[in-house]
Structure 1
């Protein structure tokens, strides 16, 4: 099957799935989607969407409620991500070099759907595999916060989560950007790396709220990305800000704008204070 036919098949499958004509949990059961090299051999992980009918897990407490991912919240999450990427791309963060070609992130419904399956487990944990035919190297950031009533708005929880991911930059440095690796002291830097990866162009997020007894109300959020940082490879290429962009974003001047039909395959080569700087007070 040629590439055009594969793309057409995926589009038809997604449309049919959305109409509820067939079950689509088997669409993600190809073991090749979840084959990972461990350095000596290949391991196979279970895909979060394989055999998953989209229901809440039995482990979820009674009353667990998915957060509606409205356009307003989508815009908020995109602005938070892109504001953070823009700061890095422009060289506004001390000790980090600017990026020559970092694209803006745009929303992806399939990534959102698969992220929703993660939060529907009501467990703060990465899933074993979330790859798709279109995104064979999909990345993931997860966050959880708890508090007793009164509960801050969902949007504030989202801002807090994204801010915490981004502020992992204090434990990283340009060395990790030039050649990604784990932190030698075990400090978390992967969420930050994911946020500023220049091969990531799409994101989709989901969130859920549920009670955790004396700990209060939990807010669990997962964001999936179309690409994940790869060990020993650069997180982003350094250079004059946006110097390799064919078109620069008007809103985020350090980021590259791109068309919606941009193909990531090798063959084709007023929302309340969305700026990342407004978030530290929430931490």
Structure 2
């Protein structure tokens, strides 16, 4: 099988099943997200986040991420509506889980995103969706909670018009974690980020804390895990760890999601100090 040019070593080493290693469908007629549509996507998401009810105290202003957009675009060009596996959309070097919304058949981006955000009519903050929507209730509100998660700082999307329909994909850094409490409720918007508040959202300019670092949305600074350093937690503190290559053989890099984070040198997932 011919490997597509998009399947570079960084993706293939992560997993041979990475979305960037998929062949594009032969049904693609046109694809891509224009500069105008990028603005529509960002404005729509941030509007939904600003107007969320009950009031959110810790939602970030979203910015665009070209890396996760590349992967979203690749999935859209499969001309099929489905979610790829979480590991198949990971960005090597980011060390962060990626969330995702998909849609098909909508006439344009505004209609696709409206379908996601309209789930707010069903959503009940603080309650288990299975309790009020039945088993699998999260499927009926998960697109909306993705859009208003306090774990998300960037979005990147892809589009394809195919012979069998239109396909829309948005990927998010990071993925949502808690649908009951996607953000922190309070009495004043962005009250947890007085220093960075911008029209109801915490504006850190889309800053990310890589490799599971924690972002302080008030000061816009990162607290890194003990394995990483730099202002954005992007570099490993040590090239090698005693576990890597010993207790953790190299084949674990593709088998367990935590190993590329703990053994970036062995797994080739990010720059390290010599």
TM-score of the two chains, using structure 1 as the length reference: 0.64
Q: How many residues align?
A: 203
- Residue 191 of structure 2 corresponds to residue 243 of structure 1: yes
Deviation readout 1:106-137 (Å, 9 max, x if unpaired): 00000110001101111011112311231521
- Residue 186 of structure 2 corresponds to residue 186 of structure 1: no
Paired position in structure 2 for 1:9: none
CA contact (8 A) 2:153 2:208 kept: no
Post-superposition, which runs of at least 4 consecutive aligned residues in structure 1 deviate over 4 A?
179-183
CA contact (8 A) 1:196 1:236 kept: yes
Query: After the TM superposition, which residues 58-97 of structure 1 pair with which residues of structure 2 at under 5 Å, given as runs?
Result: 60-61=26-27, 64-66=29-31, 68-88=32-52, 96-97=53-54
CA contact (8 A) 2:49 2:148 kept: yes
Gap runs ≥5 in structure 2:
215-221, 224-274
- Residue 216 of structure 2 corresponds to residue 259 of structure 1: no
Secondary structure in 1 matching 2:78: coil
- Residue 54 of structure 2 corresponds to residue 107 of structure 1: no
CA contact (8 A) 2:61 2:205 kept: no
Residue 262 of structure 1 deviates from its aligned partner by: 4.5
Paired position in structure 2 for 1:48: 19
Paired position in structure 2 for 1:158: 109
Cα distance in 1 for residues equivalent to 2:182 and 2:207: 24
Q: Structure 1 pair 166/260, CA: closer, same or farther in 2 (3 Å)?
A: closer
Cα distance in 1 for residues equivalent to 2:12 and 2:116: 30
TM-score of the two chains, using structure 2 as the length reference: 0.66
Instruction: Give RMSD over aligned pairs.
Output: 2.6
Q: Structure 1 pair 124/24, CA: closer, same or farther in 2 (3 Å)?
A: closer
CA contact (8 A) 1:180 1:230 kept: no
Gap runs ≥5 in structure 1:
1-21, 35-44, 89-95, 147-151, 213-217, 270-283
Cα distance in 2 for residues equivalent to 1:180 and 1:106: 29
Deviation readout 1:153-208 (Å, 9 max, x if unpaired): xxxx10001111011111210124xx687953434111001000011000000101
Paired position in structure 2 for 1:93: none
